[in-house]
């Protein structure tokens, strides 16, 4: 399993409710691809959304987001994490 950060653009003015609704769409279908979206964050002024996920591949993450109607602009496969 890999860990991924994807970035969406174009969400200027989006609300917390819209972020939650988009995330629910991902959660509803993510198991089909063995993906789990752990957390997502919105900057409504810059219009950016960041999604942190685990899954078998970058393509699997992209497929979930595409089927949910919000294909990501960028997907990064993470090689290390600190906390």
Binding mask 8-37 for its own copies (x = CB under 8 A): ------xxx--xx--x--------------
For its own copies, the closer of residues 48 and 67 by Cβ is 48
For its own copies, the closer of residues 25 and 67 by Cβ is 25
Residue 65 Cβ vs its own copies, minimum distance, rounded to whole Å: 14
Q: Which of 70, 4, 71, 67 is nearest to 32 (CA)?
A: 67
Using CB atoms within 10 Å of the CB of residue 2, give its burial: 0 to 12 exposed, 13 to 18 middle, 19+ buried.
Answer: middle
Residue 14 Cβ vs its own copies, minimum distance, rounded to whole Å: 8
Q: Which of 54, 69, 70, 78 binds its own copies (CB under 8 A)?
A: 78
Using CB atoms within 10 Å of the CB of residue 65, give its burial: 0 to 12 exposed, 13 to 18 middle, 19+ buried.
Answer: buried
């Amino acid at each position: 399993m890999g860990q991924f950060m994807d970035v969406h653009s174009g969400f200027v003015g989006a609300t917390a409710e819209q972020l939650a609704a988009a995330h629910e769409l991902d959660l509803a279908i993510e198991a089909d691809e063995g993906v789990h979206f752990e957390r997502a964050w919105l900057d409504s002024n810059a219009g950016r959304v960041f999604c942190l996920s685990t899954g078998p591949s970058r393509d699997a993450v992209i497929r979930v987001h595409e089927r949910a109607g919000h294909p990501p602009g960028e997907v990064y496969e993470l090689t290390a994490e600190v906390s």
